[in-house]
């Protein structure tokens, strides 16, 4: 569970984002931040695997590094001020421990709890056939997004970076839909973290995952389509 100590650690890290401070407070990070976050993720994994044992067994396999990659960034602060996890089915993971399939995303910093999923990065070689699949099945996508369960859970529905103008794929349907222009396809709900302090969030997170299941399944079918031999 997320506690006030979790918030305090990340608020202080934001003010002291230096290696010396982090090393001096590493035990706090392990006990007050990383430990509780991993425990929350582990509880979610255990619940998911009771239904379908296809997810990682250990939470640490889903955790993003807190160290920032500063090689190509103007911001040289060495640490993220947030903990993040990406949950993907084990059989969808490639050799590089990355997946092209949609995943479940969970994150918490000093202000916000984030629960979501979908596709943040689509391989450029897959993007065109992916968008063509979306265009060919736009009514199905709009239907699953408009269900009360999904719409009531994810207020912003499906979002992501998009093209500014309709291209041939977007125009091919004869419809106008913001989803025809997307380059990313994800859903995310954010909550003030102080409203969830000292709570077991397992059921809350599982409810969000279940609400997004039809959209998740649609995105999976679209990615599977891109992995088939495409006609030239």
Output the six-digit token pair for 45. 């994994």
Output the six-digit token pair for 169. 């794929």
Output the six-digit token pair for 50. 């009771």
For 106-151, the DSSP string reads EEEESSEEEEEEEES---HHHHHHHHHHHHHTHHHHHHHHTSHHHH
Is the Cα torsion angle 215, 217, 220, 222 positive or negative in sign? negative
pLDDT computed for residue 206 by the predictor: 97
The residues facing 186 across adjacent strands are 118, 159
Residue 14's φ and ψ, nearest 5 degrees, are: -60, -30
Beta carbons within 8 Å of 232's beta carbon, 6+ residues apart: none
Count up the domains in the chain and report the number: 1
pLDDT computed for residue 90 by the predictor: 80
Residue 176 in domain:
yes
Question: 77 lies in which domain range?
Answer: 4-226
Residue 232 in domain:
no
Residue ranges in the chain assigned as alpha helix (H): 4-15, 19-24, 26-28, 35-51, 124-136, 138-145, 148-153, 168-171, 202-211, 213-226
Beta carbons within 8 Å of 67's beta carbon, 6+ residues apart: 78, 79, 80
pLDDT computed for residue 232 by the predictor: 46
pLDDT computed for residue 53 by the predictor: 82
Rounded to 10°, the helix 138-145/213-226 angle is 160
CATH number at residue 11: 3.30.930
- Each residue's pLDDT tens digit in the chain (232 positions)? 899 999 999 999 999 999 999 999 999 999 999 999 999 999 999 999 998 888 899 999 999 999 999 888 888 999 999 999 999 988 765 433 455 789 999 999 999 999 999 999 899 999 999 999 999 999 999 999 999 999 999 998 999 999 999 999 999 988 889 999 999 999 999 999 999 999 999 999 999 999 999 999 999 999 998 877 655 4
Query: DSSP label at 33?
Result: I
CA distance 171 to 162: 15
Residue 16 in domain:
yes
Residue 231 in domain:
no
């Amino acid at each position: 569970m997320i506690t006030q100590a979790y918030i305090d650690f990340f608020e202080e890290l934001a003010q002291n984002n230096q290696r010396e401070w982090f090393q001096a407070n590493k035990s706090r990070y392990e006990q007050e931040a990383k430990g509780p976050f991993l425990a929350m993720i582990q509880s979610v994994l255990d619940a998911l695997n009771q239904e379908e044992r296809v997810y990682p067994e250990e939470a640490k396999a889903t955790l993003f590094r807190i160290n920032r990659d500063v090689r190509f960034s103007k911001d040289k602060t060495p640490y993220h001020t947030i903990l993040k996890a990406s949950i993907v089915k084990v059989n969808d993971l490639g050799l590089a421990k990355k997946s092209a399939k949609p995943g479940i995303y969970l994150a918490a910093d000093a202000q916000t709890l984030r629960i979501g999923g979908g596709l943040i990065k689509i391989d450029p070689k897959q993007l065109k056939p992916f968008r063509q699949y979306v265009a060919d099945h736009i009514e199905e996508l709009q239907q699953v997004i408009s269900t009360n369960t999904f719409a009531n859970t994810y207020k912003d529905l499906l979002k992501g970076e998009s093209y500014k103008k309709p291209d041939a794929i977007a125009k091919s349907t004869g419809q106008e839909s913001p989803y025809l222009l997307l380059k990313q396809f994800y859903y995310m709900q954010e909550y003030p973290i102080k409203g969830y302090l000292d709570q077991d969030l397992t059921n809350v997170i599982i409810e969000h995952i279940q609400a997004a299941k039809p959209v998740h399944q649609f995105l999976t079918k679209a990615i599977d389509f891109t992995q088939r031999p495409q006609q030239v």
